Amino acid sequence: MVSIRPLSQAEAQAYAPLTFPAYRAALARPAERPAVYVGAMDEGEPVAFAIGGAPDGGFELVSLYVSPLHRRHGLGGAMLAAIENALGPTHRYGAHFLTVREDQPGPALFLVRHGWRQGAVRQVVCRMSIEAAHRIPWRGLGRARTGDTMLAWDDVPAGPRDRLKAALESGALALHDTVEPFQYEGTHDRATSVALLRGGDLVGWVITHPLDADTLRWTCSYVLPGLQTAGRVIPLWWSVVERQTAAARHAGFIWTVPMDLPRMAAFARERLRPHADWLGYACTFVKDFTR
């Protein structure tokens, strides 16, 4: 028989395999922000796990997972209700960040069934194997210009870095925080993160992070706006494919493009979709608790 109950942070450790790798490490640390944990067991085995957080005073459904054999019996709904009952009464709104895969609409339908609505679509998300990436005619889609230099992100000299930082700080250049490279440094993958220099200036980059044992996340890829028309980001992506192949650690990658970079988003939908394992949209779902 399945039983659901709230968990302390210490008890929640046993449920770590039922959430994203990115949250597992956080589970082991003392809570940086208030969190609510709910778990379900069947015959002593964890079968469902939910995390609700209250970052910056808001209510976020951080993670909800029901093991495949226990789905479609109301368990997900009961777990969600437990989190909502804990946090809903003290919050006006709840938020959940979900990538809605074209081939798997179930989780989005589940949320809508429980009174959540889809808000902003933030990014196109694409999952591809390295093997499939080698079938894309990258060279025919865009080339580097003579004089452009492609190099590892860690090898970008101080001068170009400092000039880009200064342009960002002074407001001479405005970048959406999903593509601003410096905030993604530190934990980046050194073997595959790359940069593009032109005339001594830093004009493009792809910053990557290991996501799980199989998957490298191309977290942030960008070329400065004047260059996007000429397909200048293509050589950067091809370079990451080559570097990821040589590193031979991750069999595939997840790649995101902000919706407010329409040319890159269209490129993902039109050119990459045929080669992708799946394509989806990173969406924000919200629930209004004032009604």
Binding region for ligand COA (CB under 6 A): 64-66, 71-77, 98, 106-107, 109-111, 113
> Residue 12 or 64: which CB sits closer to ligand COA?
64
> Residue 118 or 129: which CB sits closer to ligand COA?
118
Could you tell me the smallest distance in angstroms from the CB atom of residue 7 to ligand COA? 17
Could you tell me the smallest distance in angstroms from the CB atom of residue 28 to ligand COA? 21
Could you tell me the smallest distance in angstroms from the CB atom of residue 55 to ligand COA? 18
Cβ atoms of 217 and 166 closer than 8 Å:
no
Could you tell me the smallest distance in angstroms from the CB atom of residue 75 to ligand COA? 4
Could you tell me the smallest distance in angstroms from the CB atom of residue 285 to ligand COA? 8
Q: What residues have CB less than 8 Å from 48, skipping those under 6 apart?
A: 2, 4, 18, 39, 40, 64, 65, 66, 67, 70, 75, 76, 79
- Give the distance between the most distant pair of CA atoms in the chain: 67
Using alpha carbons, select from 209, 215, 214 the residue that is nearest to residue 186: 209
> Residue 106 or 159: which CB sits closer to ligand COA?
106
> Residue 77 or 262: which CB sits closer to ligand COA?
77
Using alpha carbons, select from 125, 128, 135, 126 the residue that is nearest to residue 251: 128
Alpha-carbon gap, residue 289 to 173, rounded angstroms = 39
Cβ atoms of 100 and 283 closer than 8 Å:
yes
Cβ-based neighbour number of residue 74 at 10 Å: 12
Q: In one letter, which amino acid is 253? A: F
Cβ atoms of 196 and 160 closer than 8 Å:
no
Q: Give 104's DSSP letter.
A: B
Could you tell me the smallest distance in angstroms from the CB atom of residue 149 to ligand COA? 42
> Residue 72 or 249: which CB sits closer to ligand COA?
72
Q: Give 213's DSSP letter.
A: S
Could you tell me the smallest distance in angstroms from the CB atom of residue 74 to ligand COA? 4
> Residue 12 or 203: which CB sits closer to ligand COA?
12
**What DSSP assignment string belongs to 30-86?**
PPSS-EEEEEEEETTEEEEEEEEE-GGG-EEEEEEEE-GGGTTSSHHHHHHHHHHHH
> Residue 43 or 177: which CB sits closer to ligand COA?
43
Using alpha carbons, select from 58, 55, 63 the residue that is nearest to residue 38: 63
Could you tell me the smallest distance in angstroms from the CB atom of residue 284 to ligand COA? 12
> Residue 107 or 210: which CB sits closer to ligand COA?
107
